[in-house]
Amino acid sequence: MGKGKRGSDKKKIRTSFRKNRTVRTRQSDLTASFDPERADQLDVCQGERISGKGELTRKRTVVAAETVEDDGGVRILPEIDRSVCRLGRVLSAGGLQSEVADDAGKVFRCATRRLLKTLSTDERHVVATGDRVWFRPDGEQEGIIERVEPRHGVLDRMSRGRRQLIVTNVDQLLVVASAAQPYLKPNLIDRYLVTAEKARIRPILCINKIDLVEPSDLQPLIGAYCQMGYAVVCTSAVTGQGIERLKRWLTGCETVVSGQSGVGKSSLLNQIDDSLGLRVASISAETQKGRHTTTAARLIPLGNDGYVVDTPGIRQFQLWDVIAEEVDSYFRDLRPFVSGCKFPDCTHTHEIECAVKDAVIEGYIDQRRYESYLHLIQTDD
């Protein structure tokens, strides 16, 4: 007679937990400090065990369905009961709760399972906008996120020494810059492009507020990006220039819209779909910086068969998990010349017989792009 599958047959994985999840050892005992007979116990650590089985242990055994390697690295997928869980998409991720929509479009406010939050990770938050998750409904409007499914198309950056997931599971990155108010920052655009190359997301460069400048002044910059094969569109949320073209590029795709504060991301989305009604505000005339009207990344369905993720404006974009030695492989214009350098570990800064530097001198690589590369490898270690 055959035996049923026992619980011990489930896959068990030994893994690390966050160090700040243990109970802090009490430093003193006020009662003992007044009791002479217990004075010799003051220096004894009450919570530590020689066996290593106490609260100082940083590893635990968890029951998991499998481990996966995705754009977030190697992660554990905990075992879940699919009979009581639903598959959903995170519309917006907050500190304590996230909004999750199930397949029928019903939205739940979900907390995150404690196990997910305690597993050791480089990520600041374990749930991000765009994640596909399994959640357990708890009532009509609330639930618990039990597991985060494998990710692709991740836009991230470094924040306070850790990885900040801005959005996951997207096809395209729409980098919005403004021709004026605030000033155009090409080096910031280059950082976005490096991240897009690394994450294998199709980048689209949108230069907004084109009505505030003479368009011919931007031709050298636009031409450099177009020669590298990047899609570039000039738009104006005031005159409507370029809106229809941009709308076609967003149709049927899942696109994250990102850029510094005040460049007009929400204004453009309102032009593309006037039913969105996203909040907008003017920039500061003194600082040339935008006012944060979008406070959290949010997944928004468009009426033209697509999704966009409207993100808060950023003022710094530090690359995550990109070392100086590999930056040249993410620069489309530098990449063809790297193999021609004399030294295989050439940094393209001071070495002799450097094909990249020669290409800059001969005009095959834009001088500004080369300077952007130098600035990036010197500031992102």
CB 302 within 8 A of CB 246: no
- Residue 31 has a pLDDT of 54
pTM, two decimal places: 0.80
The average confidence (pLDDT) of the chain is 82
Tell whether 232 and 357 lie within a shared domain.
Answer: no
Count of the separate structural domains present in the chain: 2
Residue 17's pLDDT band (boundaries 50, 70, 90)?
low
Residue 10 lies in a domain: no
Domain boundary among 279, 310, 341: 310
Give the burial class of 178: count Cβ atoms within 10 A of its Cβ; 0-12 exposed, 13-18 middle, 19 or more buried: buried
Calculate ∠ Cα 301-303-309, nearest 5°: 30
Tell whether 228 and 302 lie within a shared domain.
Answer: yes
Instruction: Supply 183's token pair.
Output: 């000033």
Residue 49 has phi, psi (to 5 degrees) of -120, 140
Tell whether 178 and 300 lie within a shared domain.
Answer: yes
Tell whether 261 and 295 lie within a shared domain.
Answer: yes
Write the CATH number for 338. Answer: 1.10.40.50
- Residue 118 has a pLDDT of 79
pLDDT, tens digit (0-9, with 9 covering 90-100), for 188-238: 999 999 999 999 999 999 999 999 999 899 999 999 999 999 999 999 989
Residue 244 lies in a domain: yes
Domain boundary among 252, 282, 310: 310
Residue 111 lies in a domain: no
pLDDT greater at residue 97 or residue 118:
97
Rg of the chain's alpha carbons, rounded to an integer? 26
Residue 282 lies in a domain: yes
- Structural domain containing residue 350: 324-379
- Residue 54 has a pLDDT of 47
Calculate ∠ Cα 47-49-52, nearest 5°: 120
CB 241 within 8 A of CB 155: no
pLDDT at 366 over 80: yes
pLDDT at 123 over 60: yes
pLDDT at 11 over 70: no
Tell whether 214 and 241 lie within a shared domain.
Answer: yes
Domain boundary among 266, 281, 310: 310
Tell whether 253 and 288 lie within a shared domain.
Answer: yes
Instruction: Supply 253's token pair.
Output: 């795709």
Q: Which of 52-66, 68-82, 90-104, 345-359 has the lowest mean pLDDT?
A: 52-66
Residue 116's pLDDT band (boundaries 50, 70, 90)?
confident
pLDDT, tens digit (0-9, with 9 covering 90-100), for 155-187: 999 988 888 899 999 999 999 999 998 999 999
CA distances from 130 to 93, 138, 192, 370 (A): 9, 21, 19, 34
Instruction: Supply 320's token pair.
Output: 């995550």
Residue 93 lies in a domain: no
Tell whether 217 and 338 lie within a shared domain.
Answer: no
Tell whether 304 and 267 lie within a shared domain.
Answer: yes
- How far, in Å, CA of 127 to CA of 123, rounded? 9
Tell whether 181 and 288 lie within a shared domain.
Answer: yes
